[in-house]
């Protein structure tokens, strides 16, 4: 019994040190871990794509080309990842009643997105102290607008379809593609 309690305390301590001693040099490693988990959760929460929803298939035109920052611009990759994750979080905060997905998986998924965004935020701040803030980065302006437009299309689609099961399934599939792209961006964060 005592051993079990001690073990529990150790685990709690281990977990908190992990959060508070975030090393921004290892950011890509932590981001990759959570992103992989998010992709798995997205698959688990609803299982297979329902066949009756196949005719909902749409092209939302993810602005892939515009969002590929050059190799040297790690900060840009961080900003883009952060925006994508925040937008996905926002989409999954909409009316999920008809989606019939596993609640606990949805919550874990959202927690992961939140955690990832926080990590990025922290590492962006520590890096930006001696540089111009990214908000003034003109190179990012157009790609970010395209990204916002893409997510607006997603939001409009869900609304137009009244958050139906098939609309949600289509978006779950689409968000999986987004996270795969995030995966590519995370690779650019490596030294
Ligand atoms: C969500 O949608 C369901 C029906 O699909 C509706 O009954 C419910 O009121 C909606 N909830 C909100 C908060 O809009």
Q: pLDDT by residue (tens digit) across 36-85?
A: 999 999 999 999 999 999 888 788 999 988 887 665 578 888 999 999 99
Task: Locate the ligand 1 atom nearest the alpha carbon of residue 95 and give its number.
Answer: 1
Question: What number does CATH give the domain 27-190?
Answer: 1.20.1250.10
The predicted pLDDT at position 46 comes to 92
Average pLDDT, the chain: 84
Closest residue by Cα to atom 11, ligand 1, is 95
Give yes or no for residue 3 having a pLDDT over 70.
no
Would you say the CB of residue 59 lies under 6 angstroms from ligand 1? Answer: no
Give yes or no for residue 104 having a pLDDT over 80.
yes
Confidence of residue 17 (pLDDT cuts 50, 70, 90): very low
Would you say the CB of residue 98 lies under 6 angstroms from ligand 1? Answer: yes
Give yes or no for residue 16 having a pLDDT over 50.
no
Task: Locate the ligand 1 atom nearest the alpha carbon of residue 163 and give its number.
Answer: 5
Confidence of residue 25 (pLDDT cuts 50, 70, 90): confident
Confidence of residue 102 (pLDDT cuts 50, 70, 90): very high
Nearest alpha carbon to residue 125 among 22, 33, 6, 18: 22
> ∠ CA 42-56-65 to the nearest 5 degrees?
65
Q: What is the pTM of this model?
A: 0.83
Contact 156, 59 (CB under 8 A): no
Would you say the CB of residue 184 lies under 6 angstroms from ligand 1? Answer: no
Task: Locate the ligand 1 atom nearest the alpha carbon of residue 98 and give its number.
Answer: 5
112 or 76: which carries more pLDDT confidence?
Answer: 112
Residues ≥6 apart with Cβ < 8 Å to 160? none
- 158: CA distance to ligand 1 center in Å? 13
- Looking at the chain, the number of H-run helices and the number of E-run strands are 6, 0
Q: What residue segments make up the domains of the chain, in order of their start?
A: 27-190
């Amino acid at each position: 019994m005592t051993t079990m309690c001690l073990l529990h305390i150790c685990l709690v301590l281990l977990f908190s040190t992990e959060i508070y001693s975030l090393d921004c040099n290892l950011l890509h490693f932590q981001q990759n871990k959570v992103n992989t988990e998010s992709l798995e959760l997205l698959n688990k929460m609803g299982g297979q794509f329902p066949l009756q929803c196949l005719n909902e298939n749409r092209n939302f035109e993810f602005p892939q080309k515009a969002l590929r920052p050059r190799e040297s611009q790690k900060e840009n990759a961080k900003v883009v990842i952060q925006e994508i994750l925040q937008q996905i979080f926002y989409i999954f905060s909409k009316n999920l009643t008809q989606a019939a997905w596993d609640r606990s998986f949805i919550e874990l998924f959202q927690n992961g997105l939140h955690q990832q965004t926080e990590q990025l935020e922290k590492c962006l701040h520590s890096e930006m102290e001696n540089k111009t803030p990214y908000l003034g980065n003109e190179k990012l302006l157009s790609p970010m607008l395209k990204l916002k437009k893409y997510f607006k299309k997603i939001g409009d689609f869900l609304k137009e379809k009244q958050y139906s099961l098939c609309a949600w399934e289509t978006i779950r599939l689409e968000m999986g593609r987004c996270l795969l792209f995030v995966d590519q961006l995370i690779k650019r964060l490596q030294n």
